[in-house]
Amino acid sequence: MLGFVTALAISACHGNNNDAAPQGSAAAPTVDQAVERARAEHADAQQKLEAALAEAKKAQADAELAADKFAKAEKAFDAQQAKLDAAIKMIANAKTDAERNAARARLAELQKQLAAAQAEIAATKEVADHAERAKGVHIRQECLDNPLAKGCS
C-alpha cells in the first residue's frame, strides 16, 4: 500500500495525473490483507487448540471413569472369590450327600459368576489401558529443553 501511495505522489509531482495503481502493486497483498489472513490463521489455530484441549479433557475423564470401573470390578471379583472359598468349605464340612450336592451346585454357580467377573475385569482393564493411552503423556518443558536434566528419563 505504501508503494501505491509513493507512486501516486510521484506521478502527481511529475504532472502525470494517472490515478491507476502501479502494475506490481495489484498482485502484492496489502497490509490489511496480511493482517486479516493472520487473524484468520490465529482464529483457526485457536479453534484447533480448543478442540484439542476438549479432547484431552474428555480423554482424562474417560480414563478416570475406566479406572473406577476397573477398581469396582476387582472388588466384585474379590467378593466372588471369598464366596467361592466359603462354598469349598461347605463341601468339605457337609455331612450328608444332599448337603454335598447342594454345596457343589452352589460352587458351580459361583465358579460361573467368578468366570464372568474375570471376563469383566479383563474388559475393563483393556478399556482403562486404552483410555490411559488416549489421554497422552505430558512431558515437562524442562525435559523437552534438556532431556538429560535431573528427573527426566
How many C-beta atoms lie closer than 10 Å to residue 69's C-beta?
A: 18
- Residue 68 near residue 125 (C-beta atoms within 8 A): no
Pull the grid cell for residue 39: 487473524
Convert the pLDDT of each residue in 104-121 to its tens digit.
999 999 999 889 889 988
Residue 12 clears pLDDT 80, i.e. is over it: no
- Residue 87 near residue 103 (C-beta atoms within 8 A): yes
pLDDT bin (cut points 50, 70, 90) of residue 8 is very low
Side-chain half-sphere CA neighbours of 7 within 13 A: 13
Residue 123 clears pLDDT 60, i.e. is over it: yes
Query: Domains in the chain, please, with CATH?
Result: 28-135 (1.10.287)
Give the integer Cα–Cα distance in Å for 84 and 113. Answer: 10
Convert the pLDDT of each residue in 44-69 to its tens digit.
989 988 888 888 888 888 888 888 88
Model-level pTM greater than 0.85? no
